[in-house]
Amino acid sequence: MPTPNPRHPNFPIPGGPQLRAKGWRQEALLRLLENVLSVGEDPDNLVVYAALGKAARNWASHDAIVSALKSMDEDQTLLIQSGKPIGLLKTHARAPLVIMANCNLVGQWAKAEIFYELERKGLICWGGLTAGAWQYIGSQGVIQGTYEIFMRIAEKRFDGGLAGRFILTAGLGGMGGAQPLAGRMAGAAILVVEVDPERARKRREIGYLEEIAPDLDTALAMVDAAVKDKRALSVGLVGNAADIYPEIARRGIVPDIVTDQTSAHDLVYGYVPRGYTLDEVRELRRTDPAQLMSASRASIVPHVEAMLDFQRRGAEVFDNGNLIRTQAREGGVENAFDIPIFTEAYLRPLFARAIGPFRWMAQSGDPDDIRRIDDRLLQMFPDNWIVTNWIGLARRYVPFEGLPSRIAWLGHGERTELALAVNDMVGKGELLAPVTFSRDHLDAGAMAHPNIMTERMKDGSDAIADWPLLDAMLLCSSMADLVVVHSGGGGYAGYMTSAGVTVVADGTEAAAERLSHALTNDTALGVMRYADAGYEESLEEVAKKGIGYLGVK
Report the 10 Å Cβ neighbour count for 114.
16
At a CB cut-off of 8 Å and minimum separation 6, what does 276 contact?
284, 295
Annotated binding residue at 272? Answer: yes
Contact 93, 75 (CB under 8 A): yes
Annotated binding residue at 175? Answer: yes
The HSE-up count of residue 522 (CA atoms within 13 Å, CB side) is 37
Annotated binding residue at 240? Answer: yes
Annotated binding residue at 263? Answer: yes
Q: Residue by residue, what is the 3-state secondary structure of 12-61?
A: CECCCCCCCCCCHHHHHHHHHHHHHHHCCCEHHHCEEECCCEECCCCHHH
Annotated binding residue at 265? Answer: yes
What's the N-to-C CA distance of the chain in angstroms?
56
Annotated binding residue at 494? Answer: no
Contact 103, 82 (CB under 8 A): yes
Contact 444, 530 (CB under 8 A): yes
Annotated binding residue at 457? Answer: no
Annotated binding residue at 241? Answer: yes
Annotated binding residue at 26? Answer: no
At a CB cut-off of 8 Å and minimum separation 6, what does 316 contact?
153, 156, 157, 256, 257, 258
Alpha carbon distance 170, 193 (integer Å): 4
Annotated binding residue at 147? Answer: no
Annotated binding residue at 199? Answer: yes
Q: Which amino acid is at 237?
A: L
At a CB cut-off of 8 Å and minimum separation 6, what does 384 contact?
410, 414
Alpha carbon distance 243, 232 (integer Å): 25
Alpha carbon distance 547, 522 (integer Å): 12
CA dihedral 386, 391, 392, 397 (to 10 degrees): 120
Which element (helix H / strand E) includes 485? strand 482-487
Instruction: State whether residue 367 is helix, strand or coil.
Output: helix
Annotated binding residue at 293? Answer: no
Q: Which amino acid is at 545?
A: K
Annotated binding residue at 328? Answer: no
Binding site, annotated residues: 174-176, 194, 199, 240-241, 261-265, 271-272, 490
Binding site, annotated residues for NAD(+): 174-176, 194, 199, 240-241, 261-265, 271-272, 490
